[in-house]
Amino acid sequence: MPPAITVRNLSKTFRLPAERRGTLRERLMKFHVRNERQPKRTLDDISFEVQQGEFFGIIGRNGSGKSTLLKILARIYKPDKGSEISIHGRIAPMLELGVGFNSELTGRENVYLNATILGLTKEEIDARYDDIVRFAELENFMELQVKHYSSGMSVKLAFSVAAQIDCPIMLLDEVLAVGDFVFQEKCFALFERYKKEGKTIILVTHDPSAMERFADRALLIHQSRIEMIGNPHEVLVRYHALG
Protein backbone atom coordinates (compact mmCIF):
# COMPACT_ATOMS: atom_id res chain seq x y z
CA MET A 1 0.00 0.00 0.00
CA PRO A 2 1.58 3.33 -1.05
CA PRO A 3 1.91 6.15 1.49
CA ALA A 4 -1.01 8.54 1.70
CA ILE A 5 1.37 11.49 1.29
CA THR A 6 4.94 11.62 0.01
CA VAL A 7 6.93 14.85 0.02
CA ARG A 8 10.42 15.07 -1.49
CA ASN A 9 12.77 18.05 -1.33
CA LEU A 10 9.98 20.57 -0.93
CA SER A 11 10.98 24.22 -0.66
CA LYS A 12 8.96 27.42 -0.67
CA THR A 13 10.23 30.97 -0.96
CA PHE A 14 8.18 34.14 -0.63
CA ARG A 15 9.36 37.54 -1.81
CA LEU A 16 8.70 40.11 0.90
CA PRO A 17 9.04 43.92 0.69
CA ALA A 18 12.45 44.99 1.94
CA GLU A 19 11.06 48.27 3.30
CA ARG A 20 7.91 48.73 5.30
CA ARG A 21 5.88 51.87 4.60
CA GLY A 22 3.48 52.23 7.46
CA THR A 23 1.77 55.61 7.05
CA LEU A 24 -0.12 57.06 4.11
CA ARG A 25 2.34 59.98 4.00
CA GLU A 26 5.30 57.60 3.70
CA ARG A 27 3.58 55.72 0.89
CA LEU A 28 2.79 58.90 -1.03
CA MET A 29 6.29 60.33 -0.61
CA LYS A 30 7.85 57.13 -1.90
CA PHE A 31 5.21 56.30 -4.52
CA HIS A 32 7.71 56.45 -7.38
CA VAL A 33 10.47 54.67 -5.49
CA ARG A 34 10.62 50.99 -6.17
CA ASN A 35 10.34 48.90 -3.03
CA GLU A 36 12.57 45.92 -3.68
CA ARG A 37 11.46 42.51 -2.51
CA GLN A 38 13.77 40.19 -0.64
CA PRO A 39 13.43 36.38 -0.84
CA LYS A 40 12.37 34.66 2.38
CA ARG A 41 12.79 30.88 2.44
CA THR A 42 9.80 29.55 4.40
CA LEU A 43 10.39 25.84 3.82
CA ASP A 44 13.80 24.43 2.99
CA ASP A 45 14.31 20.93 1.53
CA ILE A 46 11.43 19.20 3.35
CA SER A 47 11.03 15.44 2.84
CA PHE A 48 8.74 13.00 4.67
CA GLU A 49 6.04 10.35 4.21
CA VAL A 50 2.69 9.85 5.92
CA GLN A 51 1.32 6.33 5.82
CA GLN A 52 -2.33 5.60 5.15
CA GLY A 53 -4.32 5.60 8.37
CA GLU A 54 -1.54 7.39 10.28
CA PHE A 55 -2.11 10.29 12.66
CA PHE A 56 0.84 12.58 11.92
CA GLY A 57 1.58 15.60 14.09
CA ILE A 58 3.55 18.69 13.05
CA ILE A 59 4.96 21.10 15.59
CA GLY A 60 7.28 24.10 15.53
CA ARG A 61 7.59 27.72 16.57
CA ASN A 62 5.47 30.43 14.97
CA GLY A 63 6.90 31.28 11.56
CA SER A 64 8.64 27.95 11.10
CA GLY A 65 6.57 27.07 8.02
CA LYS A 66 3.99 24.61 9.42
CA SER A 67 0.89 26.29 8.00
CA THR A 68 2.63 26.97 4.69
CA LEU A 69 3.34 23.24 4.42
CA LEU A 70 -0.33 22.36 4.94
CA LYS A 71 -1.40 24.94 2.37
CA ILE A 72 0.95 23.39 -0.17
CA LEU A 73 -0.51 19.94 0.54
CA ALA A 74 -3.99 21.44 0.12
CA ARG A 75 -2.96 22.96 -3.28
CA ILE A 76 -3.47 26.50 -2.00
CA TYR A 77 0.20 27.38 -2.50
CA LYS A 78 2.55 26.03 -5.12
CA PRO A 79 5.97 24.82 -4.01
CA ASP A 80 9.10 26.07 -5.71
CA LYS A 81 10.20 24.29 -8.85
CA GLY A 82 11.86 20.93 -8.30
CA SER A 83 9.87 19.60 -5.37
CA GLU A 84 7.76 16.43 -5.47
CA ILE A 85 4.40 15.85 -3.78
CA SER A 86 2.38 12.65 -4.14
CA ILE A 87 -1.06 12.35 -2.51
CA HIS A 88 -3.22 9.22 -2.65
CA GLY A 89 -6.77 10.14 -1.71
CA ARG A 90 -9.06 13.14 -1.48
CA ILE A 91 -8.08 15.81 1.05
CA ALA A 92 -10.33 17.75 3.42
CA PRO A 93 -8.38 20.85 4.50
CA MET A 94 -9.45 22.53 7.75
CA LEU A 95 -7.30 25.61 7.35
CA GLU A 96 -8.06 29.23 8.30
CA LEU A 97 -11.52 28.20 9.43
CA GLY A 98 -14.17 30.88 9.16
CA VAL A 99 -12.34 32.94 6.54
CA GLY A 100 -14.87 31.94 3.87
CA PHE A 101 -17.89 33.05 5.87
CA ASN A 102 -20.01 35.91 4.54
CA SER A 103 -20.30 38.34 7.45
CA GLU A 104 -23.63 39.71 6.21
CA LEU A 105 -25.29 36.28 6.26
CA THR A 106 -26.60 34.52 9.33
CA GLY A 107 -24.95 31.51 10.88
CA ARG A 108 -27.64 29.28 9.35
CA GLU A 109 -27.12 30.74 5.88
CA ASN A 110 -23.35 30.34 6.16
CA VAL A 111 -23.73 26.69 7.16
CA TYR A 112 -25.69 25.98 3.98
CA LEU A 113 -23.38 28.09 1.82
CA ASN A 114 -20.13 26.57 3.09
CA ALA A 115 -21.40 23.00 3.23
CA THR A 116 -22.58 23.34 -0.37
CA ILE A 117 -19.14 24.62 -1.43
CA LEU A 118 -17.59 21.62 0.34
CA GLY A 119 -19.77 19.26 -1.71
CA LEU A 120 -22.79 18.43 0.44
CA THR A 121 -26.29 18.40 -1.05
CA LYS A 122 -29.15 20.36 0.53
CA GLU A 123 -30.67 17.09 1.72
CA GLU A 124 -27.40 16.11 3.40
CA ILE A 125 -27.11 19.52 5.06
CA ASP A 126 -30.72 19.34 6.26
CA ALA A 127 -30.03 15.95 7.84
CA ARG A 128 -26.82 17.12 9.55
CA TYR A 129 -27.77 20.71 10.43
CA ASP A 130 -28.77 20.05 14.04
CA ASP A 131 -25.57 18.08 14.68
CA ILE A 132 -23.46 20.88 13.20
CA VAL A 133 -25.10 23.51 15.41
CA ARG A 134 -24.96 21.32 18.51
CA PHE A 135 -21.27 20.56 18.02
CA ALA A 136 -20.51 24.28 17.62
CA GLU A 137 -22.57 25.10 20.74
CA LEU A 138 -24.33 27.94 18.92
CA GLU A 139 -27.99 26.92 19.19
CA ASN A 140 -29.04 30.44 20.22
CA PHE A 141 -27.02 32.32 17.60
CA MET A 142 -27.80 30.75 14.22
CA GLU A 143 -30.20 33.51 13.10
CA LEU A 144 -27.62 36.19 13.97
CA GLN A 145 -25.41 37.69 11.26
CA VAL A 146 -21.89 36.30 11.44
CA LYS A 147 -20.44 39.82 11.64
CA HIS A 148 -21.72 39.84 15.21
CA TYR A 149 -19.90 36.59 16.06
CA SER A 150 -16.67 36.51 17.99
CA SER A 151 -13.70 34.96 16.18
CA GLY A 152 -14.06 31.88 18.38
CA MET A 153 -17.72 31.42 17.44
CA SER A 154 -16.90 31.67 13.73
CA VAL A 155 -14.09 29.13 13.96
CA LYS A 156 -16.19 26.67 15.97
CA LEU A 157 -19.02 26.85 13.44
CA ALA A 158 -16.64 26.52 10.48
CA PHE A 159 -14.96 23.52 12.08
CA SER A 160 -18.34 21.90 12.72
CA VAL A 161 -19.25 22.29 9.05
CA ALA A 162 -15.89 21.04 7.76
CA ALA A 163 -16.07 18.01 10.05
CA GLN A 164 -19.03 16.76 8.00
CA ILE A 165 -16.87 16.21 4.93
CA ASP A 166 -15.98 12.55 4.48
CA CYS A 167 -12.45 12.38 3.04
CA PRO A 168 -9.72 9.82 3.67
CA ILE A 169 -7.11 12.53 4.38
CA MET A 170 -7.67 15.36 6.85
CA LEU A 171 -5.45 18.45 7.23
CA LEU A 172 -6.05 20.20 10.55
CA ASP A 173 -4.34 23.50 11.36
CA GLU A 174 -4.56 24.71 14.97
CA VAL A 175 -8.20 23.69 15.35
CA LEU A 176 -7.68 23.46 19.12
CA ALA A 177 -6.45 27.04 19.47
CA VAL A 178 -9.99 28.38 19.81
CA GLY A 179 -12.63 27.07 22.17
CA ASP A 180 -13.01 26.13 25.79
CA PHE A 181 -12.27 22.82 27.45
CA VAL A 182 -15.64 21.33 26.50
CA PHE A 183 -15.19 22.15 22.82
CA GLN A 184 -11.65 20.78 22.82
CA GLU A 185 -12.90 17.51 24.30
CA LYS A 186 -15.44 17.33 21.48
CA CYS A 187 -12.58 17.75 19.02
CA PHE A 188 -10.63 15.01 20.78
CA ALA A 189 -13.61 12.66 20.51
CA LEU A 190 -13.79 13.45 16.80
CA PHE A 191 -10.07 12.66 16.43
CA GLU A 192 -10.67 9.30 18.11
CA ARG A 193 -13.46 8.57 15.64
CA TYR A 194 -11.27 9.53 12.70
CA LYS A 195 -8.54 7.17 13.92
CA LYS A 196 -11.02 4.29 14.30
CA GLU A 197 -12.28 4.95 10.77
CA GLY A 198 -8.72 4.67 9.46
CA LYS A 199 -8.44 8.24 8.18
CA THR A 200 -5.05 9.77 7.55
CA ILE A 201 -4.72 12.90 9.69
CA ILE A 202 -2.09 15.63 9.71
CA LEU A 203 -2.44 17.93 12.70
CA VAL A 204 -0.52 21.16 13.22
CA THR A 205 -0.75 22.15 16.87
CA HIS A 206 1.05 23.81 19.74
CA ASP A 207 -0.75 21.55 22.22
CA PRO A 208 1.75 18.93 23.51
CA SER A 209 -1.00 16.89 25.19
CA ALA A 210 -2.90 16.50 21.90
CA MET A 211 0.32 15.54 20.13
CA GLU A 212 1.19 12.80 22.63
CA ARG A 213 -2.40 11.60 22.92
CA PHE A 214 -3.11 11.10 19.23
CA ALA A 215 -0.02 11.23 17.01
CA ASP A 216 1.61 8.01 15.82
CA ARG A 217 4.61 10.05 14.68
CA ALA A 218 5.54 13.71 14.80
CA LEU A 219 7.59 16.12 12.71
CA LEU A 220 9.43 19.10 14.20
CA ILE A 221 10.13 22.05 11.89
CA HIS A 222 12.72 24.53 13.09
CA GLN A 223 13.83 27.57 11.13
CA SER A 224 12.15 26.27 7.95
CA ARG A 225 13.91 22.88 8.02
CA ILE A 226 13.10 19.48 9.45
CA GLU A 227 14.71 19.18 12.86
CA MET A 228 13.37 15.73 13.73
CA ILE A 229 10.81 13.07 12.78
CA GLY A 230 9.84 10.24 15.07
CA ASN A 231 8.23 9.31 18.37
CA PRO A 232 5.94 12.19 19.49
CA HIS A 233 7.30 12.28 23.04
CA GLU A 234 10.90 12.44 21.85
CA VAL A 235 10.01 15.11 19.30
CA LEU A 236 8.36 17.20 22.01
CA VAL A 237 11.43 16.87 24.24
CA ARG A 238 13.54 18.19 21.38
CA TYR A 239 11.01 20.95 20.69
CA HIS A 240 11.17 22.23 24.25
CA ALA A 241 14.97 21.94 24.30
CA LEU A 242 15.23 24.35 21.36
CA GLY A 243 13.88 27.11 23.61
Q: Is the dihedral of CA 163, 168, 171, 177 positive or negative?
A: positive
CB burial of residue 72 (10 Å; 0-12, 13-18, 19+): buried
In tens, the pLDDT along 189-225 reads 988 999 999 999 999 988 888 899 999 999 999 999 9
Print the SS3 string covering 20-34. Answer: CCCCHHHHHHCCCCC
Separation between Cα atoms, residue 31 and residue 99, nearest integer Å: 31
Strand partners, 60: 221
Residue with the larger pLDDT of the pair 205 and 46: 46
pTM above 0.85, yes or no: no
- 201 forms beta bridges with 55, 170
Fill in the amino acid letter for 45: D
- Which pLDDT does position 243 carry in this prediction? 74
Q: What is the DSSP letter of 79?
A: P
- 100 and 117 in contact (C-beta within 8 Å)? yes
Q: How far apart are CA 79 and CA 96, in angstroms?
A: 19
Rounded Cα distance between 196 and 27, Å, is 55
Average pLDDT value for the chain: 88
To 10 degrees, what angle do helices 122-136 and 107-117 make? 130
Task: Judge contact between 237 and 208, C-beta under 8 A.
Answer: no
Beta carbons of 54 and 45 less than 8 angstroms apart: no
Q: What is the pLDDT of residues 65-90, one digit of tens each?
A: 999 999 999 998 999 877 789 999 99
Q: Mind listing the pLDDT tens digit for each residue in 119-168?
A: 899 999 999 999 999 999 999 999 999 999 998 898 889 889 988 888 99
Percent of the chain predicted with pLDDT > 70: 88
> Which H or E run includes 214?
helix 208-214
Domains delineated in the chain:
1-90+170-175+191-243 (3.40.50.300), 93-166 (1.10.8)
Cβ–Cβ < 8 Å for 172, 74: no
Strand partners, 7: 48, 85
